[in-house]
Amino acid sequence: MGLLLHCVVVVHHLRPLHLLYLSAAGCASSIVADDCKMNSIIDMIDNENFSIISQAAVVTNLMNIDNDVELNEILEDGIGDEDDDETSFDNNVELPLTFTNMEGTNLTIDENWIMTQSTSKNDFTRELGKDSFKDKEELVRAIKIHSIRTHRQFEVIKSRPTIWTLRCKLYLQSGCKWKLHASKRKRSGYFEITAYTGPHTCLHYNLSQDHPNLDASLIAMETRHLIKEQPSISIPALRAEIVENLGYTPSYKKVWVGKQKAIKHVFGNWEESYVALPKYLGALQKFNPGTIVEWCVSRSNDVDEVEFRRVFWAFAPSIKGFHYCRPVISIDGTHLYGKYKGKMLIAMGVDGNNQILPLAFAIVENESYDTWDWFLSHVKNHVVKDREGICLISDRHGGILKAVNEHGSPWLEPRGFHRYCLRHFINNFYDKFRNS
């Protein structure tokens, strides 16, 4: 009964989000808090109640990546291009001669703007405050912000690494001939606006809630500095920043997507992250003597390379701390979302004050007998060691059951105990028997 009681206490914290939160706590207790980016990322995920844990957020934060990724890389990554609508431009569209269908729409003419808006390329670059741009990103940003500030909308007709062609979004609707073409100068490598037709003759919506050119890429660019400073910053706070600077209120979802892009930009991409993992864990070990890291790799075709399969780690303070914990270990797994999927496995202990102590983590390819067996044997060897009579609490995952019930298992009586987590059990029960 005592054990079941533990279970109820423990399982309350077993939801995936909290698993990761715990991992962050473990991180903080074992390495310098400043270095513990994972902490804030997890906070962020937790605060916003996302059930999706971005692998980027988790995995990349396990690594110490140089944050000062060159801005140029954003183009190579394709961030920023994703939202460019590359619909081909139909030159044969017939334009209406007159526009009489404005009644009933909420289009209004902004008299002030028409008077001041640029009529020539030079006027336009003067408005932008620049006539050449160090890369496409800088150009795209300037034009997007300009069109947002002036309540105009453009669409992309052509987007290549060296050229960018736009026209007014209301071209078909209202025949507005606003057009812009920019290209990369061969010699300087800078982008310049090489052709411009203006001003906008279209009528425009008065300040609306959102603006089509205020897309996730722009949001990412405009909020990157904030996210770099404080990855846990909330979506509403980012949205407030956008409203303050640009006057439009993008949707929550758009800001969320923008934030993911910014995180990816600030913290690095998938491949680099995996490549950095050995270095990062090596550094953790070096500065936290006693920290255990176990790799599981397979040979690849290339003799000099191995392929990542799994990694297990347990921080030294967790290993020491377990000595003073109750003889209970809870285990669970959670999804990693992202390019390379996978699962994160975690083992937790409970101290005398019923506080949870994260014990060990692993990133594995999936939840199976193989991976649970591998994880549990490392937990046994590196954390539990000689201690007997440990009660293991888990859900009823087939892989766990098989690993635990193996002959000679340290988790079976008389050496130990295995109990099911009541919360998982109840959830599964309700899933199966939907009738309340």
Ligand X SMILES: *[C@@H]1O[C@H](CO)[C@@H](O)[C@H](O)[C@H]1NC(C)=O
Q: Which residues bind ligand X (CB under 6 A)?
A: 49, 104-106, 108, 206-207, 365-366, 368
Contacts for 433 with CB less than 8 Å, ≥ 6 apart: none
As a whole number of angstroms, the distance between CA 180 and CA 193 comes to: 7
CB nearer to ligand X: give 6 or 239: 239
- Of residues 236-255, those binding Zn ion (CB under 5 A): none
| 105 contact, one of ligand X, Zn ion, none, CB 5-8 Å limit per kind | ligand X
176 binding Zn ion? (CB under 5 A): yes
256 binding Zn ion? (CB under 5 A): no
CB nearer to ligand X: give 30 or 334: 334
CB nearer to ligand X: give 4 or 109: 109
E-assigned strands of 198-327? Answer: 204-205, 292-299, 306-314
As a whole number of angstroms, the distance between CA 321 and CA 347 comes to: 13
Name the DSSP class of 337.
B
Point out which span in 19-27, 172-180, 328-336, 425-433 binds Zn ion (CB under 5 A): 172-180
User: CA 432, 363, 421, 51: dihedral to nearest 10 degrees?
Assistant: -60
Q: Please tell me whether residue 391 adopts helix, strand or coil conformation.
A: strand
Q: Please tell me whether residue 420 adopts helix, strand or coil conformation.
A: strand
Q: What minimum distance in Å lies between the beta carbon of 163 and Zn ion?
A: 21
Is 156 within 8 Å of 165 (Cβ atoms)? yes
CB nearer to ligand X: give 101 or 108: 108
Q: What minimum distance in Å lies between the beta carbon of 25 and ligand X?
A: 17
Is 208 within 8 Å of 249 (Cβ atoms)? no
Strands 390-394 and 328-335: parallel
| 178 contact, one of Zn ion, ligand X, none, CB 5-8 Å limit per kind | Zn ion
Q: What are phi and psi of 234, to 5 degrees?
A: -80, 160
154 binding Zn ion? (CB under 5 A): no
CB nearer to ligand X: give 49 or 98: 49
CB nearer to ligand X: give 50 or 190: 50
- Of residues 202-241, those binding Zn ion (CB under 5 A): 202
For binding to Zn ion (CB under 5 A), which residues are involved? 168, 176, 178, 200, 202
